[in-house]
Amino acid sequence: MSRPPTPFIGLLLAVLLLVFGNAVNREDSVSIVVAGTAPTAGASAQQAAASPRQPAASASGKPRSRPRQPTKPQTRQRSQFRPSDKPAADRSGKSQSRPSTNQQASKHGGTVYLTFDDGPSPYTPAILKILRSTGSTATFFELGSRQAQYPSTAAHIRAEGSNIGNHTYNHPDLTALTAGQIRWQVTHGPRGRCMRPPYGATNPRVRHVIAEQGLREVLWSIDTLDWSRPGTTKIIKAATGPAVRAGSIVLLHDGGGDRSQTVAALPKIVRTLRQRGYMIRRLPGC
């Protein structure tokens, strides 16, 4: 007498089937999403090699895209403050390992570009010595005012096979200047074919004057924050972290203050990058 009616059992089975079937489908779709958003190390390396954010082209020609524009520091002492590029530093802090760089190396010539800003200074010869001992070269974005203080350093840099870029005369924020003032800063900066505006601060007016003077604007892709003297270990991590790949342009400083941490970090930076198969070279065309 308590037997449920047959149509009810059929309905129950249909509902169960529907629920169970949906659950299976959801699992499938979840696993697809995971596979798509969490690539393997190999896929990551391929993405890195093909990444449009990679400014490697700026080393061999026009930058495909400039590094993310940093926000201006709120307070500045002349030549002391650098724009922060926290993602690069943070990424490097989280992981010291990275996948094989062979793919990127072949695609970008296997070169990492170290750049030193705000010199020359008493630290520049020590940096040149380290570069020489490792068969490396670099690019120095110097200030005209500092060149005047260390007149022999430019020849020293060039004799070592490194090159010099223009970093203005005395490190103003060019975006706050008129076109005429920008032009004065550029023409009184060091001679060279590349220009790095202080703080990475640029805009159409700045770019126009730089191009008008026959120079190429070069920013960076890896900010080590060495200017803030975070400690040698952190500088090394930033300069060799997972964000660094073939074609990376690494921002370091030989001027603007006490650069002893940068000098102390440099041998391990170069050694680590070379162990990964990278060459350390000056920016071409600068």
- Residues lying near Zn ion in the complex (CB under 5 A) are found at 117-118, 198
Residue of closest CB approach to Zn ion = 117
* Residue 48 or 219 with smaller CB distance to Zn ion: 219
Query: Catalytic: 253?
Result: yes
Query: Catalytic: 226?
Result: no
Minimum CB distance to Zn ion, residue 146 (Å): 10
* Residue 169 or 278 with smaller CB distance to Zn ion: 169
Minimum CB distance to Zn ion, residue 171 (Å): 6
Q: How far apart are CA 279 and CA 111, in angstroms?
A: 5
CA atoms within 13 A on the CB side of 130: 18
Q: How far apart are CA 166 and CA 240, in angstroms?
A: 26
Q: Which of 85, 117, 223, 254 is catalytic?
A: 117
* Residue 85 or 117 with smaller CB distance to Zn ion: 117
Minimum CB distance to Zn ion, residue 24 (Å): 59
Surface-to-core class of residue 13, CB atoms within 10 Å of its CB (0-12 exposed, 13-18 middle, 19+ buried): exposed
Minimum CB distance to Zn ion, residue 251 (Å): 9
The answer to whether the beta carbons of residues 157 and 140 sit under 8 Å apart is yes
Q: Which of 108, 167, 171, 253 is catalytic?
A: 253
* Residue 117 or 223 with smaller CB distance to Zn ion: 117
The answer to whether the beta carbons of residues 239 and 89 sit under 8 Å apart is no
Distance (Å) of CA 275 to CA 56, 154, 178, 245, 265: 20, 30, 46, 13, 16
Q: How far apart are CA 96 and CA 87, in angstroms?
A: 15
Longest dimension (CA), the chain: 109
Q: How far apart are CA 273 and CA 268, in angstroms?
A: 8
* Residue 160 or 254 with smaller CB distance to Zn ion: 254
| Single-letter amino acid, residue 232 | T
Minimum CB distance to Zn ion, residue 200 (Å): 9
With a CB cutoff of 8 Å and minimum separation 6, the contacts of 284 are: 59, 60
Catalytic residues: 117, 253
